[in-house]
Amino acid sequence: MIELRYELYVGAPMERVWDLFIQPEGTKAILFGSVLESTFEIGSPYRYVGPGNDGDETIHVYGTVLAFEPNRFMSYTEHPGPTYRENHAELETRVSLTLESVGATTKLTLVNDQWPDNHPSYENTKQSWPMILSNLKTLAETGKTLDFGW
Q: Which domain holds residue 101?
A: 4-142
Q: Answer yes or no: is 148 within a domain.
A: no
**pLDDT at residue 39, rounded to an integer:** 96
149 located within any domain: no
CA distance 92 to 29: 25
pTM for the structure as a whole = 0.93
pLDDT reading at 32 higher than 90? no
**Dist CA 2 CA 35 (whole Å):** 28
Tens digit of pLDDT for each residue in 55-104? 899 999 999 999 999 999 999 999 999 999 999 999 999 999 999 999 99
- The number of folded domains in the chain is 1
Percentage of residues in the chain having pLDDT higher than 90: 90
Give residue-wise pLDDT tens across range 3-18: 999 999 999 999 999 9
- Report in angstroms the alpha-carbon separations of 92 from 49, 60, 113: 18, 13, 10
Does any domain span residue 147?
A: no
> For the domain that residue 110 is a member of, what is the CATH number?
3.30.530.20
Model confidence at 120, in pLDDT bands (50, 70, 90)?
A: very high
150 within a domain of the structure (yes/no): no
Q: Is 138 domain-assigned?
A: yes
